[in-house]
Structure 1
Amino acid sequence: MQHHHSVDASGVFSGPVGADLRAMLASKENVLAALPVDLSATLRFAAGWVVVTSERLLACDPGTTTWRSWPLGEGLTLKLHDHGGVGSLELHNPQERLAQWRFTLAHHAQALRLVQRFEQQSARGDSGAEDEADEPACPTCHTPLPPDTEECPACARAQPPQTSTWVLLRLWRFARPYRKQLAAGFALTLASTAATLVPPYLTIPLMDDILIPFQNGKQIEPGLVLLYLSGLLLSALAAWGLSWARTYILALVSERIGADLRTTTYEHLLRLSLDYFGGKRTGDLMARIGSETDRINVFLSLHALDFITDVLMIVMTAAILFSINPWLALVTLVPLPFIGWMIHTVRDRLRTGFE
């Protein structure tokens, strides 16, 4: 009789223990889910499998080639949990723990599907592929969907959508009460960036009117030299003062935003059910409230500020260059798109590495 196995079973049948598993299956027995367990009991890397069929639970422990079997019954339960980057799957009956398998969290999605199929098959109590054919199934993992829903619980938990950088725009509702301070900080950013560009701009007349004529033996008026040097000094002092005021205001605003964010998150945690805290470690939740909001504060007060300053510096520098010589400015700015592309590529690789 032809078998109708799940897509998860392709890995186990193509492996070294696939032939033994195929020989153990009955004529009407289908593999519903398969989990590769890649850690032994001593947490060393080794290959093994846990398989749920329509009639029983099969397991080949890491480092072995023999299969163990437990018929699906009323008393069997599977418990899944993880700690320190290691997932653990335990099989229990009402009296004791029968088996335990460990795996890296790269296989966590498959573990979720296996537990779901095990619970569904245990609750159904029958073993017919014909019955499954009439049920709506998830197009991704082919798991039967719960009644009155089109969302697969296993895929929803195992494949969260990738967080976009644009999600930081949600911080605006926390920044809204401080929009006047933010406007003042932006104005100071413009002023400090403009003051920073004054010394390079004064370098042109300083070279043309003082240094080059003096090198050619021409008499230079001391008042003109004093004027240019005073301009350089005043612009440097103005840039320093404006930069200090800008950093002070924006750092203060970022700390206020972080405090509001921590308060709102903590109040939201207090309104959650006890079932939520049963699957989460409270210490980790509280630590994330502190550490993640601190990272947001650093981003707002340092990294975002540096990014805005750099963008304004590039724009103002480009305007000055075009006012002096458009063709020379164009040649100077040609590498900018390539540099932007390189930054985008390296950022994606770094983010993948950190994840």
Structure 2
Amino acid sequence: MNMTDEPMRDAAAPVADVAADATVSPLEPTLEPELEAVGGAPAVDVEAPPQRSGVVDVEQALRAARGGQRLAAAPMPSPLASAPEPPPASRLVASSAPAPEPEAGAARERAAATASPSLPEAEPAPESAPVREPALEPTPAVGAAPASYEALLDELDAPRRALVEQHLTGLKAALQAERVTVRRLEQQARTASTQAESQATAAAALAEEKSLLEAAAAEREALAHLAQRRADFYEAAVEQGVRRKSVRLAYLAATDAGLFQDGGAIAWDHLRTQFADLFEAPGRNTPTPPSRSASAAAGAGTRGDAPVAPTLNQIIRNAAGRRR
């Protein structure tokens, strides 16, 4: 090790001691007589706020170390720091080391005065101007409904708005398809109703026409039955001796008297009794009714074949004496 390093190491030791002894402690009662003998420790203004300890000047510390003195650490100013409450009124010493000898007290006081010059008192912080709070806009209540649907869409961001619009597009498409289906069904219902009405009208017309046809057929059948009954009456009237000019009157009399029985039979006895003047008188020759199987040669006078007139050829041959 170099010899020149020893003074520096010796000088550094007091610096460490000074840094370690830089705390301020209240004066103990046992040290007051010694401090009074050497002139007393420097008075400390108790009203001034305590200052933060700082590092002493290195050059002054070296000089004090060579002279065998100890320096107190210089307090660092802190004007902006808030002043703590003052300690109780008492005398303070710069260090808790044993009191120095009387002959070295004055020198140490001068060294302490030069090493730690008095610092100006911390100026009070300027009073800050009153801060004006900004006016707060009234915020809507939590959960309040938007004023309109457009306002609700404006509050949404782009992705959410796109989802809402996509959903609305799907709903509109479904609604439009449903409307088209309803319109088509309504049109089909109207068409079916019209067809049903037309079919009902046609059915009614067909039923009416059918009834008319049935009535006409029944009437024709009745007329045919009457015609057949009249024909049967006329044919039977000649056989029963009804006068030829009174056949129609006899038919009307039989119809009015209800002399037609079931199956077309006629009560001739009752008709003859009620309407005797319509019949031929008894004893008179009644006309012979025509035979149903008449001969083809009727009116020739004989039952044989009818004579055939000779032709001109037969006459000439007869005259010539030629017979064939």
Question: TM-score band, normalised by the shorter chain?
Answer: under 0.3
Which one has a bigger Cα radius of gyration? 2
TM-score by length of 2: 0.19
User: Which of the pair has the greater relative contact order for Cα pairs under 8 Å at 6+ separation?
Assistant: 2
TM-score by length of 1: 0.17
More strand by share: 1
